[in-house]
Structure 1
Amino acid sequence: MQVLRLPLLAFLLGLYCCQHASAQAPPATTAQKKFDPPRILAVLRPNDTGESRPGDGDQRLYYIDKGQEVSINRGDILNVYREKKVHPALARGMRIFIGTITITESQNGSSMGTFTTGARMNLPIIKFKVPLKGDLVVPRLIIDSGVLFNPGDFSLAANAGAEFAKVAQFIKNFSPGKIIIEGHTDSDGDDSGNQTLSEQRASEVVKFLINTYSFITDGMMEAKGYGENQPIVPNDTPDNKKLNRRIEVIVWE
């Protein structure tokens, strides 16, 4: 992996110059631009002097080419994807989820954060087991399924409206061309039933959003269910199972 070989001060000065030049550019047209997913711009170690030191691996900071101007703020957790070309005939590569970045600092034009590895980083197709320059960083919103749905069911809870308002505002902030709604469950029950439930819940969220908000259209929404197969924490305690029962709203493009 290529790690930035410049002193921290010089790197930050370069970021400032790019942002200052952007601020002096002519104003953009009022037409709304299609969302372009952020990418990792550079990788930096704290107190970087250009030398790699033992023990620094888990302390890397990841600089992203977008920040507050696209509603990426401190404390946000974003999905990180590696794009892999699977066949020359395909115009676009496959996106593989490799982990998350927690944003520690954000400003107009850039942000930075720390990385948490996902289970799919160990897939054989992933050659380099750390985030790389150019990896996609995708905004997401996580909602507790218990707030939206009745237990073990895909019918919407009576008080789900306030949570959907948060989802709608999240989508509006990014003006995306495509949103993916993912359904996830814990490991209780059988795998097949959990898969079906997650798909049904994701579809119900999509239907509600399309029917309620005029700026959310059928063409920009996709529902996916993953059952119990993508936990964010081990399903070994009631609290952890609650975290895994979730809906994820992902800004895809």
Structure 2
Amino acid sequence: MPALSRQLLQSQLSAPLPEAPELVLVTDLDGTLLGGATAERRSFYRWLAEQRKRVLHVFCTGRDLASIARVLEEDEPIGLAAPHLVIGDVGCTVACGQSLLPVPLAVEPIDARWQGMEQRLLPMLEGQPGLAAQPLHSERRLAYYVDPEQFDHSLIPQLEAHGVDCLLSDNRYLDLLPAGVNKGSTLLALLAWLEVDPQLVVTAGDTLNDLAMFETGLNGVVVANAEAALLEQLPRLSSVYLASAEGCAGIAEGLRHFGFDHLWD
């Protein structure tokens, strides 16, 4: 059955995946893959492009697909190429990295969990102080900018009682996700379909919406510019490395820490 799932997954993509990747690199975008000095980013993007047949690259981000498309267009001049796969909407969307078309195998179960949620949740959120809707194009989550000083935090358990998880990150974002769906859960499902050896996987991030990735037990890199609330979680995350460098340089530092130096040869 796993082989069938991998074959089905590949059939729903517009571009092939590496046959036998030596590394599966799973990167958040803002503050992580898009973080650091321009020269460091340019160098890391060049390395990613050169290793495309050896490194299976996955974006794992809170951005929606339209926003990811803008990032790829804006950063193309410094060498950022499309990944092989995308996990977007904080885990609620999986898409082909080349076409940015959703992958039905991965998305349909999440759709089923989200059915009817907006009708239940929107009346509770309307007019709440400290909340402003983010301009997203997503069918499987609700996302808001939040002012933590004005927001009534007692609303969170009321919302979660309706079958969602509420995720506050970077002290300014609130995401409402189908219960049990996050970057980590979607990543693990994707890796199972791909039949990937977990030892070949490295995740990288910088905010609390990346915490679920780090809680999977997979090797992870927290870049130096991470938010304080994520850094507080590090003592219990034994498989996660805290880089001394920011953004792309921090990712590269973490990869060397986990023994992937040979990919720079």
TM class, shorter-chain normalised? under 0.3
| Structure with bigger gyration radius | 1
TM-score (normalizing by structure 1): 0.27
Q: Which has the higher contact order (CA 8 A, sep 6+)?
A: 2
Of Structure 1 and Structure 2, the greater strand share is in: 1
TM-score (normalizing by structure 2): 0.26
Of Structure 1 and Structure 2, the greater helix share is in: 2
